[in-house]
Amino acid sequence: MSETLMISVSGMRGHVGTDLTPELVARHAAALGAWARSAGRPLVVLGRDARTSGAMFAQAAASGLMSVGCDVIDVGVVPTPTVQLAVEHHHAGAGLILTASHNPIEWNALKFVGPDGIFLDADAGAAVRELASHGPPRAGWDGIGSLRRDDEALERHLDLVLGLPEIDVAAIRNRRFHVALDCVHGAGGGSIPPLLERLGCRVTGIGLEMDGRFPRAPEPLPENLGDLGRSVLASGADIGMAVDPDVDRLALVDEQGRPIGEDYTLAFAVRAVLDAHRSAGSSATVVVNLSTSLVVEDAARELGARFVRAPVGEANVARAMREESALVGGEGNGGVILPALHIGRDAPLGVALILHYLARSGGSVSDLVAASQRYAIVKAKGPRGAELRPLYDRLVARFSDATPDERDGLRLAWRDRWLHVRPSGTEPIVRMIAEAPTAADAEALVAAARELLSQGIQP
Ligand code: MG
C-alpha cells in the first residue's frame, strides 16, 4: 500500500489508481454496510463529488455495500451536506460520500456518515476499519442488497434551506443580486446555480461544469480566487461566491473583486442567524473551533450570544454544538453549521444566509467588512520533537497574562489576540497560528513560539 493512503477517524483518502483502488473502496464500503447492518439498518446512502474517479468508485462502493446485504440509495453528484441530509431523510443506517473535499485532483476519499447524518466518531470509525481488515461477512445469492437512485435529494436540501425561518427569501429576491460564482468544476455547479435562481439572483458563473477537472487549486483560499475576483469586476456583480468541490465550504469576494477571507463567511452567517433570533437574547450559543478568527467571536459577543470554542475538526465542533445546544456555529474555513437544519457544514445554507444578511444590511460586501474589526492571521510551522509539553510550559510561563486552553495543543488567548500551537495530525510538524489586530502583532506571537520551540530542540 502506498504511503499516500491516509486513514482518518471517519474515512480514508489516497491517490487515485495507486493506493485508492476500486478493490479497496469496495472492501471498505462493504465494511461500512456490515456495520450498518449489524445495527439493524441495512440501508446506506451513497453520494459523491464531481471527481473524474467518482463514477468508477461509486460502482465499486455500491457493489461492496450490496455484497453484505445492504440496500443502496444513490443520490449521485451532490454536495456533501446533501448526502448527510439524505441519510436522515431515508432513516438510513449510514452514508458513504466519495469526495476528497478540497484536496487536489489526484486524490479521492471515502467519508463515512452515521445514522444521525454526522461523520463517524473515532469508535465507530475503528469498528468499520476492523470489519474491513477481517473481511466483512458477504451475503449469498438470496441476500444481496438492492440499488436505487434518489434524484430528489438536492431539491429536498434546497427546499429545507429556503424554508428556514432565518432566511427571508422575499427580501433576497427583491434585491435581485448579481452573483459571480466559482464552483471549480466540482459538485457546486449542479446545486448553487439552482439555489441562486430560486433566490432571484442573476448568476455569472465560472467552473460550473461538473467534470472534476479543477483548473486551479480547489481550496477556496483568497490566493485561489483571482479568476473569481476578475469575474466580479468584469460582470459588475454584487458579490463573488466560491465553494469547494464537495460544497461544504463557502468563501466570498467583495464587489471590488477582493477575496475577503473565509472567516467572514461564518461571521456574517452568525450575525444573520443571531439577528433573526434576537428575542432569544442571551440564551443563544455559538460554537466554533479554536482556530477560528476573532471576527466570529466579535459577532457573537456584539449580539449577546454565549461563545464556545471546540477542538479543531468538524466532528469535534459537531459534538460540541450538540452538547451546548448551539444555535449556530461552524469552522472559520467557510463551514457554516445551523443545527436546526442539520449538524454539518453546509455551503448552500451559507449562500442563503449571506444573501439574507446582505439584503437586510442594505449595503455592500465591502461595507460589511469595513464595519468589522480587522485582524491579521499569521500561520507557521516548525519541526516537532517527541514531546510538546516542555514547549507548552515555556509558552505559558512567557505569556502568563494569557488564558491558556489545552484541549487541542495549547491556545493562549487575550481579549484581542490569540496564539494556537498544536501538533499536525498528518505530518511530523508543529503548527503555529496567531491572530492579532495587526500583522506585526501576530508575527510577534508566532516568532515567540518559534523561538521557544527552537530552545527545546537545541541539545
Ligand atoms: Mg469540503
Q: What is the pLDDT of residues 179-224, one digit of tens each?
A: 999 999 999 999 999 999 999 999 999 999 999 999 999 999 999 9
| pLDDT recorded at residue 459 | 46
Which pLDDT tens digit goes with each residue over 379-435?
999 988 778 999 999 999 999 999 999 999 999 999 999 999 999 877 789 999 999
| pLDDT recorded at residue 280 | 59
Q: Is residue 242 part of a domain?
A: yes
- Domain ends where: 85, 120, 154? 154
Is 364 exposed, middle or buried, given 0-12, 13-18 or 19+ CB atoms closer than 10 A?
middle
Give the position of cell 445492504. Answer: 70
Residues that are catalytic = 101
Q: Are residues 291 and 330 in the same domain?
A: yes
Q: Are residues 322 and 248 in the same domain?
A: no
Q: Is residue 197 part of a domain?
A: yes
Q: Are residues 249 and 285 in the same domain?
A: no
Domain CATH for 402: 3.30.310.50
**Helix axes 80-89 and 347-361, enclosed angle (nearest 10):** 110
Q: Is residue 412 part of a domain?
A: yes
- Distance CA(177)–CA(221), nearest Å, equals 23
| pLDDT recorded at residue 454 | 86
Q: Are residues 114 and 240 in the same domain?
A: no
CA 97 / ligand 1 centre spacing (Å):
11
Q: Spell out a b/e string for 316-344, using b for 16 or more CB atoms within 10 Å of the CB, else e.
A: bbbbbbeebebbbbbbbbbbbbbbebbbb
Q: Are residues 279 and 348 in the same domain?
A: yes
CA 19 / ligand 1 centre spacing (Å):
21
Give the position of cell 495549547. Answer: 410
CA 142 / ligand 1 centre spacing (Å):
38
Q: Are residues 239 and 330 in the same domain?
A: no
Cα torsion 76, 77, 83, 85 to 10°: value is -100
| pLDDT recorded at residue 9 | 80
Q: Is residue 165 part of a domain?
A: no
End-to-end CA distance of the chain: 37
- Domain ends where: 95, 123, 154? 154
CA 49 / ligand 1 centre spacing (Å):
10
Q: Is residue 169 part of a domain?
A: no
Least confident of 268-272, 307-311, 386-390: 386-390
Q: Are residues 28 and 128 in the same domain?
A: yes
Band (pLDDT 50/70/90 cuts) for residue 457 is low
Domain limits at 389?
Answer: 376-457
Which pLDDT tens digit goes with each residue over 121-175?
889 999 999 999 999 999 999 999 999 999 999 999 999 999 999 999 999 999 9
Which pLDDT tens digit goes with each residue over 316-355?
899 999 999 999 999 999 999 999 999 999 999 999 999 9
Q: Number of C-alpha atoms within 13 angstroms, CB side, residue 335? A: 28
| pLDDT recorded at residue 6 | 86
- Domain ends where: 224, 253, 282? 253
Average pLDDT over residues 228-244: 98
CA 334 / ligand 1 centre spacing (Å):
10
Q: Is residue 166 part of a domain?
A: no
Q: Are residues 434 and 453 in the same domain?
A: yes
Q: In what order do the strands lie in the sheet with 376-383?
A: 376-383, 429-436, 418-423, 410-413, 403-405
Q: Are residues 52 and 87 in the same domain?
A: yes
Q: Is residue 258 part of a domain?
A: no
Mean pLDDT, rounded, of the chain: 95
Q: Are residues 320 and 272 in the same domain?
A: yes
Q: Are residues 353 and 422 in the same domain?
A: no
CA 403 / ligand 1 centre spacing (Å):
32
Q: Are residues 346 and 440 in the same domain?
A: no
| pLDDT recorded at residue 8 | 82
Domain CATH for 194: 3.40.120.10
CA 452 / ligand 1 centre spacing (Å):
34
Q: Is residue 162 part of a domain?
A: no
Band (pLDDT 50/70/90 cuts) for residue 7 is confident
Nearest to 352, CA basis, from 111, 159, 206: 159
| pLDDT recorded at residue 424 | 83
* Structural domains counted in the chain: 4
Residue 273 confidence (pLDDT) above 80: yes
